Amino acid sequence: MIMSKTTKKVKRIRIDTDKCNGCRSCEVICSSFHAQEKYSINNPARARIRMVMDPLNDVYLPVYAGEYTPAECMGRDKYVVDGKEYEECAFCRASCPSRDAFKEPDSGLPLKCDMCEELEDDEEPLCVKWCINDALTYEEREEEVDEEEETKVEEMEDGLKTLRDKFGLENLMDGVARLSKKE
């Protein structure tokens, strides 16, 4: 069977760690934009980007929140940058049971960078806009994918949006977190 192809937009944020000075504006605007009531709070613990820092050595590394995982992985990463050893999993993007990173402080629900999807199509993600040091650069490219697979993903996203509109994002996330614990 010949699979027909279509294209999808792939979004990417390029991180230039040499330009980052650890100002944490990215954390501030992300947490504020994603507040239940937009811009009502400013709490970096709720941000979908977080800084891993070693100010004495002038090292600042932004890490974006990735996928939620219901179980710890079996291995650990240990990074050494400019001679400094960072704690295990410091650069991992997952919201995982072994640590508090990338979780809502009150509910423990996972946080994931959504590329500020609620913005208009021609707007850059807010962390990029607010980074006055140009450490973050937004890029897009078209990628060829199987049409059938893409349709499935779109259908799933439409279904999730309907559930979100009906029950609210928090209840939906809560339900997904409960389901994944049962598996």
Per CB under 6 A, 102 contacts ligand SF4: no
Q: What is the largest CA-CA distance in the chain?
A: 59
Taking the C-alpha atoms of residue 154 and residue 140, their distance in angstroms, rounded to an integer, is: 19
Taking the C-alpha atoms of residue 171 and residue 173, their distance in angstroms, rounded to an integer, is: 6
Q: In this chain, which stretch among 88-96, 100-108, 125-133, 143-151 interacts with ligand SF4, using CB under 6 A?
A: 125-133
Per CB under 6 A, 136 contacts ligand SF4: yes
Per CB under 6 A, 92 contacts ligand SF4: no
> CB of 60: closest distance to ligand SF4 in angstroms?
6
> Is the Cβ–Cβ distance between 49 and 101 less than 8 Å?
no
Closest CA to 115 of 125, 123, 104: 125
Between 122 and 183, CB nearer to ligand SF4: 122
> CB of 139: closest distance to ligand SF4 in angstroms?
12
Which residue is it, tokens 């295990």? 88
Taking the C-alpha atoms of residue 124 and residue 102, their distance in angstroms, rounded to an integer, is: 22
The packing angle between helices 147-167 and 169-182, to 10°, is 120
Figure out which of the listed residues 25, 69, 98, 137 binds ligand SF4, where binding follows CB under 6 A: 25
> Within 37-66, which residues bind ligand SF4 (CB under 6 A)?
48-49, 51, 60, 62, 64
Enumerate binding residues for ligand SF4 (CB under 6 A). Answer: 20-26, 30, 48-49, 51, 60, 62, 64, 113-116, 125-127, 130-131, 133, 135-136
